[in-house]
Amino acid sequence: MEKSSGRNSFTGSIGFVLAAAGSAVGLGNIWRFPYLAAKDGGGLFLVIYIILALTFGFTLLTTEIAIGRKTKQSPLTAYGQIKKGWKGLGILSCLVPIIILPYYCVIGGWVLKYFLVFLTGGGTEAAADGYFTGYIGDPAQPVILMIIFLLLVAFIVFRGVNKGIESSSKLIMPLLLILVVAISVFSLTISFTDAEGITRTGIDGLKVYLIPDFEGMTVKKFFSVLLDAMGQLFFSLSVAMGIMITYGSYVSDDANLVKSINQIEIFDTVVAFLAGVMIIPSVFTFMGSEGMEASGPSLMFISLPKVFSAMGSIGNGIGCLFFAMVLFAALTSAVSVMEAIVSCFMDRFGMSRAKASIIETVISLAAGVIVCLGYNIMYFDVVLPNGSHAQILDIMDYISNNCLMPLVAIGTCILIGWIAKPQIVIDEAEKTGCKFTRRRLYIVMIKYIAPVMLVILLLKSLGILTVI
């Protein structure tokens, strides 16, 4: 449906919810949420996460989607339209997806590689020690697969909001959900007896995941769990990277925002929760508690292939389904990142979608090649302010996630909470006559609690705050 302004819009709320959920459900849900839950006391982390999703997450998500729909602009120009003089925040929030896209596509390429390896029956090979480091150490293949993944993303964005983003999300998201549920159920049925004769089952692993563990709980530990949950939620909802403003700008004026936002949050949280059911019982059964210490790439590309291989003959098939699911999750997230950038180029410079998509693909390709080479020809190792060792990918991830995203979110809270006033978001949400039930909560969150929490998160990410 073309609007009179010529701007595209989603054909209906299902298309919007699935596209936004597609953005939200990404690698973070799969490789970080289960790890944090296991590390932070199982059920306790889950309860804290859900409470934060309903308060903090709801506030940030509503704000961005409402800014998008109200201004009908991409992030680069939307902030300046809410209040003159706030253009800088737009530039900052457009910079975040520009930094993220290249390295997200590099990871997308790794996922594609593992999917292909499992598809062709090579699961055992992928489980061998040193396989992953050997693979990323190769200067050629990761570049090629990154390019294929990027072209896939670009193709969807190039086709536009309806024919590209909306229709691909309507196909991919239900498939993703089916895969997640099927693998979760399978994960609960497994059992394994190790060399010492100890038998562990999927249900034992589920208990580790779900039963709250208060052992050694102190006020300090509680705050650290709280901050972990907040950081994870923040990243998981795809806020502070311009994406939700962009998608919000494609939502028609008669859609019920409050209902859609609830559905997006539920989708994201359910998939994150189920990722835990998929991963924790399997890892626990085959590797015991030590297996639970891995997260991120080492969980996905080193530990899990070992788990699949330990499953015997069925492992290769399960691994193939698992990596297909991860590929879907990464693809819809990467599409949203590219769309945020393309929409900025279109709105600000009056470019056509085709031109904007091609320019961004070229930029991302060039930067993506450099990221790949950071593991071989251009290898170096630096220590970041938070103490972790980093290559080019980690540096880009650090700048975008740890520095820029909290800054953008703090700026958004100040702009809406104090300058433009929360009422503009409430009015936008209530435009269709629906009731904004968490109104008081929203005002208190956006003015006081969210910015304070975000400042603490920023200081911790930067390694300045070390007590928690």
In the complex, the residues that contact ligand PHE under the rule CB under 6 A are 23-24, 26-29, 100, 104, 235-236, 238, 241, 333, 336-337
**CA–CA separation, 157 vs 237, rounded Å?**
20
**CA–CA separation, 345 vs 184, rounded Å?**
41
Nearest residue to ligand PHE on Cβ basis: 26
Closest contact distance (angstroms) between CB of 190 and ligand PHE is 26
Closest contact distance (angstroms) between CB of 20 and ligand PHE is 10
Closest contact distance (angstroms) between CB of 300 and ligand PHE is 12
Nearer to ligand PHE, 31 or 158 (CB): 31
Closest contact distance (angstroms) between CB of 322 and ligand PHE is 16
Nearer to ligand PHE, 25 or 450 (CB): 25
Nearer to ligand PHE, 243 or 294 (CB): 243
Closest contact distance (angstroms) between CB of 24 and ligand PHE is 5
**CA–CA separation, 333 vs 235, rounded Å?**
12
**CA–CA separation, 231 vs 39, rounded Å?**
15
Nearer to ligand PHE, 26 or 368 (CB): 26
**CA–CA separation, 342 vs 155, rounded Å?**
12
Nearer to ligand PHE, 399 or 441 (CB): 399
Nearer to ligand PHE, 38 or 287 (CB): 38
Closest contact distance (angstroms) between CB of 100 and ligand PHE is 5
Which sign does the torsion angle of CA 434, 440, 441, 446 carry? positive
C-alpha angle 325-266-427 in degrees, rounded to nearest 5: 130
Q: Cβ(98)–Cβ(343) under 8 Å? A: no
Q: Cβ(68)–Cβ(261) under 8 Å? A: no
Closest contact distance (angstroms) between CB of 30 and ligand PHE is 7
Closest contact distance (angstroms) between CB of 65 and ligand PHE is 15
Q: Return the DSSP state at 253.
A: T
Nearer to ligand PHE, 24 or 367 (CB): 24
**CA–CA separation, 182 vs 186, rounded Å?**
6
Helix axes 315-349, 167-189, angle to 10 degrees: 150
Nearer to ligand PHE, 127 or 180 (CB): 180
Which sign does the torsion angle of CA 94, 99, 100, 102 carry? positive
**Which residues, other chains included, contact 108 with Cβ-Cβ below 8 Å and sequence gap of 6+?**
146, 149, 150, 153, 327, 330, 331, 334
**CA–CA separation, 87 vs 82, rounded Å?**
9
Tokens 């031109």 — which residue? 355
Closest contact distance (angstroms) between CB of 148 and ligand PHE is 19
Helix axes 405-414, 58-71, angle to 10 degrees: 70
In 127-256, alpha helices (H): 131-136, 141-158, 167-189, 202-210, 219-236, 243-249
Nearer to ligand PHE, 103 or 436 (CB): 103
**CA–CA separation, 356 vs 351, rounded Å?**
6
